[in-house]
Amino acid sequence: MPPIHCARDARCPGGLKRLRKAALLCLALFSLLLAAVPAQALDLLRLDAQRSERGVLVNFETRFDLPAGVEDALQRGVALHFLAEAVLMRSRWYWRDKELARAARTWRIAYQPLTFSYKVSQGGLSQTYRSLGEALRALQRFSQWRIADQVSADEDRCYIEFTYRLDTEQLPRPLQIGIGSQPEWTLGVARTIALPD
Q: Work out the percent of the chain whose per-residue pLDDT is above 90.
A: 59
Q: Is 16 exposed, middle or buried (0-12, 13-18, 19+ CB in 10 A)?
A: exposed
pLDDT at residue 178, rounded to an integer: 78
| 62/44 Cα distance (integer angstroms) | 4
Give the closest residue to 187 by CA, choosing from 138, 136, 144, 152: 136
Confidence band of 41 (pLDDT split at 50, 70, 90): confident
Q: Where are the alpha helices (DSSP H) in the chain?
A: 14-36, 68-75, 132-139, 173-179
Mean pLDDT, the chain, whole residue set: 84
The answer on pLDDT for 104 being more than 70 is yes
DSSP state of 53: T
pLDDT in tens, 134-150: 999 999 999 999 999 98
Section 116-135 average pLDDT: 95
Section 97-124 average pLDDT: 95
- 41 neighbors 64 (Cβ within 8 angstroms): yes
The answer on pLDDT for 196 being more than 80 is yes
pLDDT at residue 11, rounded to an integer: 55
pLDDT at residue 197, rounded to an integer: 78
Residue 92 phi, psi dihedral angles, 5° rounding:
-130, 135
Domains in the chain: boundaries: 42-194
Amino acid occupying residue 51? R
The answer on pLDDT for 38 being more than 50 is no
Give the closest residue to 17 by CA, choosing from 29, 26, 8, 27: 8
Q: For strands 98-112 and 43-52, give the pairing.
A: unpaired
pTM of the entire predicted model: 0.75
Confidence band of 103 (pLDDT split at 50, 70, 90): very high
> Sign of the C-alpha dihedral, residues 116, 117, 118, 124?
negative
Q: Where are the alpha helices (DSSP H) in 48-190?
A: 68-75, 132-139, 173-179
**Looking at per-residue confidence, does 24 or 196 come out higher?**
196
Amino acid occupying residue 84? A
- 141 neighbors 105 (Cβ within 8 angstroms): no
